[in-house]
Structure 1
Amino acid sequence: MLSGRKEGMGRVTADLSGSETTLDPIGAGVWHKPEPLVLLVEDDAADALLVEELIADGAPGVRLVWANSIAQAGERLAEGLPDCVLLDLNLPDAHGLDALASIHDYTDQVPVVVLTGLDQEQTGLAAVAAGAQDYLVKGRVEPELFGRAIRYAIQRKQTELAAAALRLSQLRAEENARLERGLLPKPLLRGERVIDVVARYRPGRVKALLGGDFYDVVQLADGTVHALIGDIAGHGPDEAAIGVALRLAWRTLVLSGITGPRQLGLLEEVLLAERTGRRTFATVTTLVLDPGARAARVLRAGHHGMFLCRGTEVDMIEVPGGPALGFLPGQANWPEQELLVPVEAGLMLFTDGLFEGHIGPGSARLGEEGLLNLARGLSGPAPEDFVDALIEQAEALAAGHGGLADDVAVLYLRWSAEQGTGSGGR
């Protein structure tokens, strides 16, 4: 019996019968406690006793618990993960590499050191090739080597897990970068420049999750400028991918001459085909800017208003619109509205992440009115300064309350001074 032996050394041992064996609940971290916990999976009581003696002499302080089969090991692992598993390859319910595979089926987060007989060294080598950290030959291992093998196995697994996590993080960062490039393209301005564009994007919550905010600007050969801003409900790669699909579809429709409510209807069809659940929807605002008429045709699908900036004046403009894309599939109506945009004026479109950040305790948020007040308090010689200052102030207000909760996309559009319209302030 292992229980009661050398208890003065502070080790936690287990009854070899298994009836009194317990595993202290622990987290899934590796080498997270000063006294590592080792799970021994061994059906031979004499060999289990040998392992206990080796630990006592070569790895004092290690806590040992015991399971006499793969099934019982699974029960122990379900209660909590140890820091290392010592695994005999000849068990009543598993033999050879099948035993190792069974442990890996339970968890791949814990290092495994296999125990082999004198005539099974090749099996031990095969186990290492199959994912074990090391192998030890029963009867040929000294206590010091035994303790070192356990420590090294834990440290190597820790390094392996850290490297895997780093690689996964790098892959996610690369994926996010590709999606962001799809969501946030370079404006396509062709021919004589009639519009100046300031575009900005800020990820929410310190780049924790990629959102589905997107924008685009296309100038056609006749001088008309088409602009789009939108927001997919939710965060993550699925929502970002839908945003990319909608933006690309919109640019294709514009270049094909399809505008107005029909354009939004086709975008909704793309959304319905791409979304993974019925609750996914998109808010969108589109503009068609006519430099000759100094006006914009506006379509609004569930999106909030925009800012009309003239000199030191800023007003919120919210023209009549229809529901967000995906709310009423095939039934929505999006009326097109005309908005005069004077020579000296600029239009700023933005997503709701700019005003939904918490700025106080509880549920206090900046809100559209608070954002408008911030905008009215700013002045600057160029749209770039105005946009950057507004974003910075919104971020500063939310900084003490978790930061901006959502991504922020901003488009500022103003008639180009190259057209002889004059800069006219903002």
Structure 2
Amino acid sequence: MTQRQQDDPLYRIVLIEDDAADALLVEELLHDTGLRFELTPARTLAEARVVLAVRQADCILLDLHLPDLTGTAGVTTIRRLAPHTAVIVLTGMSETQAGADAMAAGAQDYLVKGNVDADLLGRTVRYAVYRGQTERASAEAQATRLRAEENARLERGLLPRPMLATSTVTVTTRYLPGRDQALLGGDFLDVVEGDDGLLHAVVGDVSGHGPDAAALGVFLRIAWRSLVLGGHRGTGLLHLLERILIAERGTRSMFATCALLSLDRVAGTVVVHLAGHDVPLLTTAAGTETTNAAHGIALGIAPELRFWPETVIRLPPTGALTLFTDGLTEGHSGTGDGERLGVEGLLALIEKLPVSDPGAHIDLLIKETRALNAGRHTDDLAVLRLDWHTLEPAG
């Protein structure tokens, strides 16, 4: 084999033909084309199903008359089995309309048996594979565009713009799906300033992944904002959110964790309610540490309990509170022992990071946690950080 032949593409061809003589003729013609190819034969549609289930193909040569399927129905069936693989139909000389009908059904091209030479077969395979690859690229681009549009719609529901009138508190948020090009999951966050002058924030995480979790996250986020603006607070607010979750969840196994904050800039305090969620982190001039917020039960786990204790935390005049979902801490620690990073590991990592503005700090933190994890954990993550200055001094 010459160097040029070695550099030529390898065509993986599946020949679906029940006539042994015709199959042998096609194989001999393929050898005469000069193409580099691997040929896998199948005599029936049933055999083709098995082959295509375990083997990738660039081109399928399909006889229209098989023992278990005939006519253009064979084309549509094969296209369902291998939607992005080039299909070339083999027809008889008397079937003048069959080739056109096959192309209308989805085949890239057709060849008439007894009227094919090696040059024609080689050109037809090359062009059909090229068209198949173009179709695949177009389909992937379309899927990427639709995924981006779905993500944009989900972002509007899960990641709204904060409703703030204050200039003493700044809000920084980040949200990353667990896998590249994946839809956003069930994590959600929001910040609003109520008519009472308090700054209210939520970060939540719906169990599971995919569209059901995302839809439920959107329901809960919108419900939270509406209820907060309507004056609901604390345990009563969480009870209503739990009722909404139970009414909207697809299965009884779905639940949600969340952390609620109500920051009083005048009193210099924050009220925290946790529903199965990690505690907020408090950053001061001395560093970052966990808060002593009391834990409550996740929403949807045991609706009859309604156990969400309130914790009031005194705040320094300048500082930051960070809320996050477990996608930030459940990845591997990078120590090689398989342990999760956890909150303690997160704090140790934060201590090593250089001081920077909130956005850059969160970005670097996410980058470092994902580097340690090395792609082994694929949960979504959401981070919300509130930075303030000129609060009333804590008494």
TM value normalised by structure 2:
0.84
Alignment match of 2:197 (pick from 202, 214, 223): 223
Cα separation, partners in 2 of 1:58 and 1:267, compared to 1, 3 Å:
same
Q: Is the 8 A contact 1:265 1:330 kept in 2?
A: no
- CA deviation string 1:246-287 (max 9, x = no partner): 111100111222222121112112222333344432211112
Judging changes above 3 Å, is the alpha-carbon distance between structure 1 residues 398 and 107 closer, same or farther for their aligned structure 2 residues?
closer
| CA apart distance, 1:136 | 1.0
Q: Does the 8 Å CA contact 2:195/2:229 hold for their aligned counterparts?
A: no
Question: How many positions carry a matched residue from both structures?
Answer: 385
Match for 1:392 among 354, 361, 364?
Answer: 364
Residues 213-255 of structure 1: CA distance to partner in whole angstroms, max 9, x if unpaired? 2211111233122211112234433322222221111001112
Cα distance in 1 between the residues matched to 2:225 and 2:54: 54
More divergent stretch after superposition (181-190 vs 347-356): 347-356
| Structure-2 residue corresponding to 1:173 | 148
Q: Which residue of 2 aligns with 1:303?
A: 277
2:171 corresponds in structure 1 to 198
Match of 2:96 among 113, 121, 129: 121
Q: CA deviation at 1:402?
A: 0.9
Displacement of 1:177 after TM fit? 2.9
- The C-alpha deviation readout for 1:89-115, integer Å capped at 9, x for no partner, is 233433321222333344324322112
Matched to 2:368, the amino acid is A
Match of 2:186, SS state, is: strand
CA distance in 1, matches of 2:27, 2:388: 81
In the TM superposition, what is the alpha-carbon distance from 1:117 to its structure 2 partner? 2.3
Match of residue 339 from structure 1: 313
Secondary structure in 2 matching 1:343: coil
Deviation at 1:386, TM superposition (A): 4.8
TM-score calculated relative to the size of structure 1: 0.79
Whether the 8 Å contact between 1:212 and 1:235 is mirrored in structure 2 is: yes
Change (3 A) 1:225 1:34: closer
Distance 1:391 1:59 in 2: 53
Separation in 2, partners of 1:80, 1:60: 19
2:384 is aligned with 1:411:
yes
Which residue of 2 is the match for residue 4 of structure 1? none
Of all paired residues, the percent bearing the same amino acid is 45
RMSD: 3.1
For each residue in 1:21-71, what CA deviation from the matched residue of structure 2 results, as whole angstroms up to 9, or x when unmatched? xxxxxxxxxxx9955343333344443343334323335654444444334
Residue pair 1:204, 1:353 contacting (<8 A) in 2 also: no
Contact 1:374–1:390, Cα closer than 8 Å, also in 2 = no
Deviation at 1:291, TM superposition (A): 3.4
Q: 1:95 to 1:317 in 2, by over 3 A?
A: same
Structure 1: 4+ residue segments shifted above 6 A: none
Relative to structure 1, the CA distance from residue 68 to residue 226 in structure 2 (aligned partners, 3 Å threshold; closer, same or farther) is closer
The 1:208–1:332 alpha-carbon spacing in structure 2 relative to 1, beyond 3 Å, is farther
Residue 322 (structure 1) aligns with? 296
Q: 2:45 matched to 1:70?
A: yes
1:324 is aligned with what amino acid? A
Q: Is the 8 A contact 2:171 2:386 kept in 1?
A: yes
Equivalent in the alignment of 2:268: 294
Q: Is contact 1:308-1:348 (8 Å) kept?
A: yes
- Letter of the 2:106 partner, please give it: G
**Equivalent residues of 1:283, 1:324 under 8 A apart:** yes
Structure 1 unaligned residues grouped into runs of 5+ = 1-31
Shift of 1:127: 0.8
Distance 1:408 1:318, change over 3 A: farther
Aligned partner (choices 233, 237, 243) of residue 217 of structure 2: 243
User: In structure 2, what is the Cα distance between the partners aligned to 1:161 and 1:58?
Assistant: 25
Task: Determine helix, strand or coil for the equivalent of 1:36.
Answer: strand
Residues 360, 401 of structure 1: 8 Å contact kept: no
1:99 maps to a residue whose letter is: G
Residue 402 of structure 1, aligned match among 366, 374, 378:
374
Counterparts of 2:366 and 2:270, CA distance in 1: 28
Equivalent in the alignment of 1:212: 186
What are the superposed Cα offsets for residues 343-383 of structure 1, whole Å, 9 maximum, x if unpaired?
34443323333333423212244432233345456685xxx
Give the letter for the 1:97 counterpart. T
Change (3 A) 1:356 1:37: closer
